Amino acid sequence: MIIDESLIATVGIEVDEERNRLLVANSQSFSDPGPGAAMLGIYDLSSGEQLAMIDLAAVVENPAADAAYFANDVTVSSAGTIFVTDTRLSVIYKVDQYYQASVLINFGTDSGLFLNGIEYHPAGYLIAVSSQGGELIKIPLNAPNRWSLVEVDFPAAGGDGLVWASDGGLVSTSNNRSAVMKYHSDDHWDSAQLTGMASFEGQGTTAAAVGDEIFVVQPHFADAEPPEILRAKF
């Protein structure tokens, strides 16, 4: 268990097994007034010791006077570089091995892209999902401004958490459809096809892959019940 007074609200988390770290997107609730927060907590996975708490919002250059922040999801590359989405500001932050943060790409709040889940692909790019329109976005790390929308035959509407399945598919949890959607690509995620959908009752926000299986988290935001974990059956 990790107890840290600097944690405001834990959103996306990522286990970096290779480096024995737990990566935590740290934000204020969407319902809280004010500019919100975008922080990244990094913890020793064995001891729970805080290794760093990084103020991501502080690295945004010339923010608008009414800028608002919400660090949402986090992923890590094979080299240990960390990437965090900011839903409110429509940016992706980058944190290097020395825990120095920068903005990888700023889509702009007028882009209509409300970044949520994010995953790293070992071929050298990121896949992110925009929760409002269900767009999947491919961002090459060597040229992030050459990002593109993945052509899909079925939008990932309400896309929240993303996770790679063991067969190379990409699973998106919808936070408004009571479903998880699984996609497959034959062209390095320039396009993708829906290959499966698992439905359940209630709301889901994120998922995890354990072997060949996918498990979905139901947060129970609307009631006092504790979160539940469901097995997705495609």
User: For residue 71, what pLDDT is reported?
Assistant: 98
Provide mean pLDDT across the span 156-168: 95
pLDDT confidence bin for 187, thresholds 50/70/90: very high
Provide the token pair at 77.
Answer: 């590359």
- Report yes or no: 234 and 182 within 8 Å, Cβ to Cβ: yes
What gap in Å lies between CA 206 and CA 167, rounded to an integer?
19
- Distance between first and last Cα of the chain: 33
- Report yes or no: 54 and 8 within 8 Å, Cβ to Cβ: no
User: For residue 108, what pLDDT is reported?
Assistant: 94
Provide mean pLDDT across the span 110-133: 96
Provide the token pair at 58.
Answer: 């502080």
Cα dist. 207→14, 32, 121, 165, 219 in Å? 11, 25, 17, 10, 11
Share of the chain above pLDDT 70, in %: 100
How confident is the prediction for the chain on average, in pLDDT?
95
Over residues 51-82, the pLDDT tens digits come to 999 999 999 999 999 999 999 999 999 999 99
Residue with tokens 């401004």: 145
Over residues 17-41, the pLDDT tens digits come to 999 999 999 999 777 778 999 999 9
What gap in Å lies between CA 174 and CA 133, rounded to an integer?
11
- Domains of the chain in start order, with CATH, are 10-231 (2.120.10.30)
How much is the pTM? 0.96
pLDDT confidence bin for 140, thresholds 50/70/90: very high
Which residues share a beta bridge with 148? 138
Residue 38's CB is within 10 A of a number of other CB atoms, namely 31
* String of DSSP letters for 158-212: TEEEEEE-TTS-EEEEETTTTEEEEEE-SSTTSEEEEEEEEE-SS---EEEEETT
User: For residue 103, what pLDDT is reported?
Assistant: 98
Write down how long the chain is. 234
